[in-house]
A and B are shown apart, each in its own frame.
Chain A
Amino acid sequence: MPSDAVPTKAVPTNAVPSDAVPTNAVPTDAPRPTGAAAPRRASGAALLRSELWVLFRRRRTWALLLALAAIPILIAVAIRLSSSPSPGRGPAFLDQVSQNGLFVGVTALIVAIPLFLPLTIGVVAGDTIAGEASHGTLRYLLIAPSGRVRLLVVKYIGAAAFCVAAALTVVVAGTAVGALLFPIGPVTLLSGTTIGIGEALARFLAIAGYVTISLLGLSAIGLFFSTITDVPVGAMTATISLAVAGQIVGALPQLEWLHPWIFSHYWLGFVDLLRDPISWASFGDNAVLQAGYLVVFGALAYGRFLTKDILS
């Protein structure tokens, strides 16, 4: 059944919006399952490959990543042009940037994680199923038997891949622009200990991993919303609104009992990786919490998507 190896945007319809991938995005090198051996697995891998290919070929994906990269660049340029802020003012670590450019990435993450990162995740995750439905391409993807579960999984992996790319974009762009504009040197941790550049870069990569995990729960929520509607903008708006609402609830002391259950509860916990010795407790708690959201909203998306009448 090679038919579902055809990439998602291959069917030209007049509903394709201007930012959609042009039809020549069909990967001609997509391998087709040759023998009868394990055709399902092969087609699943091919589906994933084409999903990632289409996702990262889209101009919109690049625009989102560029917008994320602009955050550390703006911070760094603004500090370069103005006087250095005094300690304790502005976002955490901001005052350290002018002395050590390596802090640009971490500062940018603190700025980006409440709104900008959830915004981009909401756009990508909200588009997963609803986008195909609105383009009228969904039913072509579902010709294969039991194709719905596979498509759901592939779509989620695509959204997760974007989470990795988004977190890495902020950290890498921040570290690079920081190194370009400011002196770099050994990094002072929150505990007052100083570590070398190599170890600091390793910790920044771990932070990117932490942020990626932090966003997986929201991606699952976006996937579920995307199965409810055929209008991608609706799913995107719902996901982003929920991300903001979750943080508002997280800021209300009256709802303290609820806080450990909110997906954004450990979002800023990545700074625990900048303590000495590293405190892994929030990393583990965050992973468990996000896994819980993934399972619950994955099951909801499964229930919705497998009982849905695909009309487009």
Chain B
Amino acid sequence: MVWLSRAFGPARVSRWLPAAIIPVVIVAGAVIAPLGATAAVDLPDIAPDELLELVATCEADAFSGTIEQQSDLGLPDLSGFSGYEVSGSEPDIASPLELLTGSYSARVFVDGPDLARVQVFDRLAERNIVRNGDEVWLYHSRERTATRLVLSADDTERAEKAVPDAGEVPTPGQLADRVLAELDPSTAITVGTDRVVAGRSVYELVLTPRDRLTLVGSVSIAVDSETGLPLAFEIVARGQDAPAFRVAFTELTLESPDADLFAFEPPPGATVTEHNMQEGPRPDLGAGETPDSTVSGEGWSSIVELSAADLPTGLLESPLYTAATEPVDGGRLLSTALVNVLLTDDGRVFAGAVSPEQLLDTANGR
């Protein structure tokens, strides 16, 4: 350390000034810049019902942008289960789970109700979902597989109602619609602080459950003040400050994307499969819509019960299941910040945005 004492002689201090000042400037800039970007803007006041109407009358149906999803559900790290290590044997289990519980960025291109493309950016790979009218292509660059689905009229209608089923990756708008449809008197609706999302000023619609039993603290939807397009969706778990789940645009252009983007041709060398929508399992994430489910409780704290036979085959044998769940009295529990799922030893499944104790009570008939 001799050089230190030499280096800091009185005449030499000035030589070290840049080295002292520059990091301070960079850190200060890094702290201040995000504050400026998310600084509160002052929009004209708006009532909750006017804001809901603004969303309902949203006419921006052609746009392209980048979406970031972050979720901090308190799940064990599942990243070891996705990627190429297990993809050969279990292609379909890790992927939808990871899409919902992971953090990733994706590009979205939408032109009207019939043309849409989502590109999920993976590490050194990409998953594409291209919808062009009745035709949907799923392309996975790592596996080099292309799947073609043709939607029947039924499916088209269904896809318009709940696009996540067809597209796997919900945009903030689709998620917002889903939540708004389920609103009932159990929820306090307020307008939160005006903010900036993806460079646009937004109103914030905040839904706070009146029910004290649910794990959901609040749900907030950022609505573009000009077009009414939902730009961000976040769920905060009860008692937490940071959102447990967040999908938000980081970049948005309200112009029709290049038409070539929606004309997908499977590349040479790719394995192409045709998927018959009438038979076989759908690429579906909505386990709650399985026929034999019973719902107990109501509103935010309702608990869904179904039979383990309805779960995707192979799920209970997968190492993913063992890693993600923990043993409890009479079964195994998948515990997250927002949702708990109990799989009892006698083959029943209970799920709800409530505490594990309530699930156990329901399972035991109390």
Does B366 make an interface contact (CB < 8 A)?
A: no
Alpha-carbon gap, A109 to B143, bound state (A): 20
Does B214 make an interface contact (CB < 8 A)?
A: no
Q: A299's contact among B22, B77, B251, B266, by CB below 8 Å, is which?
A: B22
Does B185 make an interface contact (CB < 8 A)?
A: no
Do B23 and A88 touch across chains, with their CB atoms under 8 A apart?
no
CB distance from B27 to the nearest CB of A (A): 10
Given contacts A194-B267, A307-B12, contact A302 B142 (CB under 8 A): no
Q: A303's contact among B16, B88, B123, B146, by CB below 8 Å, is which?
A: B16
Does A198 make an interface contact (CB < 8 A)?
A: no
Do A192 and B139 touch across chains, with their CB atoms under 8 A apart?
yes
Contact count band on A: 35 or more
Q: B19's contact among A93, A271, A302, by CB below 8 Å, is which?
A: A302
Q: A191's contact among B7, B66, B128, by CB below 8 Å, is which?
A: B128
Does B159 make an interface contact (CB < 8 A)?
A: no
Do B26 and A95 touch across chains, with their CB atoms under 8 A apart?
no
Do B23 and A296 touch across chains, with their CB atoms under 8 A apart?
yes
- Which residues of chain B come closer than 8 Å to A29, judged between CB atoms? none
| CB-based nearest B residue for A281 | B66
Q: B258's contact among A191, A277, A308, by CB below 8 Å, is which?
A: A277
Do B18 and A192 touch across chains, with their CB atoms under 8 A apart?
no
Given contacts A253-B77, A303-B16, A307-B12, contact A193 B267 (CB under 8 A): yes
Given contacts A275-B126, A296-B23, contact A192 B146 (CB under 8 A): yes
Does A67 make an interface contact (CB < 8 A)?
A: no
Do A300 and B84 touch across chains, with their CB atoms under 8 A apart?
no
CB distance from A239 to the nearest CB of B (A): 18
In A185-199, the 8 Å CB interface with B consists of 186, 188, 190-194
Do B19 and A89 touch across chains, with their CB atoms under 8 A apart?
no
Alpha-carbon gap, A279 to B144, bound state (A): 20
CB distance from A214 to the nearest CB of B (A): 15
- Which residues of chain A come closer than 8 Å to B12, judged between CB atoms? 306-307
Given contacts A302-B18, A307-B7, contact A192 B267 (CB under 8 A): yes
Do A192 and B87 touch across chains, with their CB atoms under 8 A apart?
no
CB distance from B132 to the nearest CB of A (A): 13
Alpha-carbon gap, A102 to B125, bound state (A): 17
Do A88 and B87 touch across chains, with their CB atoms under 8 A apart?
yes
Alpha-carbon gap, A27 to B324, bound state (A): 67
Do B269 and A188 touch across chains, with their CB atoms under 8 A apart?
yes
Given contacts A296-B23, A299-B19, contact A192 B128 (CB under 8 A): yes
Alpha-carbon gap, A89 to B107, bound state (A): 26
In B165-190, the 8 Å CB interface with A consists of none
A residues with CB within 8 A of B:
86-89, 92-93, 95-96, 99, 110, 186, 188, 190-194, 228, 253, 268, 271-272, 275, 277, 279, 281, 292, 295-296, 299-300, 302-304, 306-309
30 A/B residue pairs, CB under 8 Å, sorted by A:
A86-B88, A88-B84, A88-B87, A89-B84, A89-B88, A95-B144, A96-B144, A96-B269, A110-B124, A191-B119, A192-B139, A192-B146, A192-B265, A192-B266, A193-B267, A253-B77, A253-B79, A279-B107, A296-B22, A296-B26, A302-B19, A303-B15, A303-B17, A307-B6, A307-B7, A307-B9, A307-B15, A307-B16, A308-B3, A308-B6
